[in-house]
Amino acid sequence: MESNASEVALDLFPYLKVYKNGTLERIAGVEVVPPGLDPETNVLSKDIVIVPETGVSARIYRPNLISEDRKLPLVVYFHGGAFCVASPAFPPYHTSLNKLVAEANIIALSVDYRLVPEHPLPTAYEDSWVALQWIASHKDEDGNQEAWIKDYVGFEQVFLTGDSAGANIAHHLALRIKESNLGQKLKILGIGMIHPYFWGTSPIGPELNDRSRKELVDKWWLYVCPTDKGCDDPLINPFVDGESADLAGLACDRILIIVAEKDILKGRGWLYYDKLVKSGWKGKAEIMETEGEDHVFHIFNPDCDNANRLTKRLASFFNQGKLPFQLKCESEVLG
């Protein structure tokens, strides 16, 4: 029989367990794979330290065959995991980034922000902001000197991209850029939001008919952000007052939102799209729904047809529509 100390106090399925003695056991996202040359995609990767004092780091990717006289788009990627699990070295994320870089012919930098509960929110947002500042510093003569960024990145073609919690981070950073001087160094062309993690106390869409999953997502957020605002904290609910005026301040020209038919978060993605096109934002909004799939299916089943289509759609987005693609199983609305 378990002692009281080893009894589970909180089970945040499928991410982690908290025991009564205060210890934490992460169940998901704990495996790691080293960087290097991926023989399947011919993509190179390496780990870099961004802030030695805090340990904030990233995994950077580039095509193995690359010309120094052509600057490539930079995709700054923020992984998912409800702010409390996973990393760029988690094998499904590493595989996904290799495939994306190969398909789109881009440079990608996957940020290893610090996780809840050891580092409470808004640490993940701050770490991700620092990563953007670090990237921008490469434009300064006396700035950082990471060769893959200095030699290959086009600073006028930067994209913020993430899945789930990472898409949430991308949204908040794009709002913050508008109020800073960072936009003078980095031109954020677009945001790729894959199955974005937004939420709210009052159910909408598929949440109305799936009380058990609604309660589960409620529990996740209340754990990672235990404030008196609950699931209507502005970090997770950008429309808490029914307003969308802030979206007009998003510092980018194009936004692609990708949702999945069976995802409990789908309604929030569609709400974001609807609010965005009505907000007065001057950019181009696109939304794509993948039929028959659930949350971040492409991460855990990267070789399926729908995952390949999703990757091609993102690649097209990063390359301003230059890459051909077909959408056979997705419902797509172009704003």
Domain check: are 159 and 272 in the same one? yes
CATH code, domain with 268: 3.40.50.1820
CA 59 to chain centre: 14
The pLDDT confidence band at residue 334, using thresholds 50, 70 and 90, is very low
Domain check: are 101 and 237 in the same one? yes
The whole-model pTM stands at 0.93
Predicted pLDDT of residue 140 = 85
Predicted pLDDT of residue 328 = 31
- The verdict on residue 264 lying in a domain is yes
- Segments of the chain assigned E as strands: 8-12, 16-19, 24-26, 37-38, 43-51, 56-63, 72-78, 107-112, 153-163, 188-194, 254-260, 284-290, 330-334
Domain check: are 37 and 26 in the same one? no
Predicted pLDDT of residue 26 = 97
Domain encompassing residue 268: 33-319
> pLDDT tens-digit profile of 164-192?
999 999 999 999 998 899 988 999 999 99
- Of 52-56, 137-141, 202-206, least confident by mean pLDDT is 137-141
Tell me the mean pLDDT in the region 318-332.
48
**CB–CB of 100/133 below 8 Å?**
no
- The verdict on residue 331 lying in a domain is no
- Residues of 132-145 as b/e, b for ≥16 C-beta within 10 angstroms? bebbbebeeeeebe
- The verdict on residue 289 lying in a domain is yes
Domain check: are 109 and 121 in the same one? yes
Residue 79: is its pLDDT beyond 90? yes
- Asked if residue 238 has a cis previous peptide bond (ω within 30° of 0), the answer is no
Predicted pLDDT of residue 331 = 41
Domain check: are 11 and 62 in the same one? no
Predicted pLDDT of residue 245 = 63
Domain check: are 146 and 265 in the same one? yes
Residue 316: is its pLDDT beyond 50? yes
The pLDDT confidence band at residue 327, using thresholds 50, 70 and 90, is very low
The pLDDT confidence band at residue 321, using thresholds 50, 70 and 90, is very low
Predicted pLDDT of residue 67 = 81
One-letter amino acid for residue 309 of the chain: R
Domain check: are 21 and 148 in the same one? no
Greater confidence, 203 or 333? 203
Predicted pLDDT of residue 142 = 80
Domain check: are 123 and 5 in the same one? no
Predicted pLDDT of residue 309 = 97
Domain check: are 8 and 120 in the same one? no
Predicted pLDDT of residue 42 = 98
Phi, psi of 317 (to 5 degrees): -60, -45
Predicted pLDDT of residue 179 = 83
Predicted pLDDT of residue 326 = 31
- The verdict on residue 328 lying in a domain is no
Tell me the mean pLDDT in the region 188-202.
97
- The verdict on residue 332 lying in a domain is no
Q: What percent of the chain stands above pLDDT 70?
A: 93
Greater confidence, 143 or 7? 7
Residue 315: is its pLDDT beyond 80? yes
Predicted pLDDT of residue 332 = 53
The pLDDT confidence band at residue 5, using thresholds 50, 70 and 90, is low
From the list 111, 154, 151, the residue with the least C-alpha distance to 133 is 111
Query: What amino acid positions are annotated as catalytic residues?
Result: 164, 263, 295
- The verdict on residue 324 lying in a domain is no
Predicted pLDDT of residue 27 = 95
Residue 86: is its pLDDT beyond 70? yes
Tell me the mean pLDDT in the region 278-300.
96
Q: What percent of the chain stands above pLDDT 90?
A: 84
Q: Tell me the average pLDDT of the chain.
A: 92
Residue 62: is its pLDDT beyond 60? yes
> pLDDT tens-digit profile of 256-280?
999 999 999 999 999 999 999 999 8
Domain check: are 15 and 97 in the same one? no
Domain count, the chain: 2
- Of 112-116, 278-282, 304-308, least confident by mean pLDDT is 278-282
Helix (H, G, I), strand (E, B) or coil at 234: coil
- The verdict on residue 181 lying in a domain is yes
Domain check: are 167 and 280 in the same one? yes
- Of 101-115, 148-162, 267-281, 316-330, least confident by mean pLDDT is 316-330
Domain check: are 5 and 109 in the same one? no
- The verdict on residue 138 lying in a domain is yes
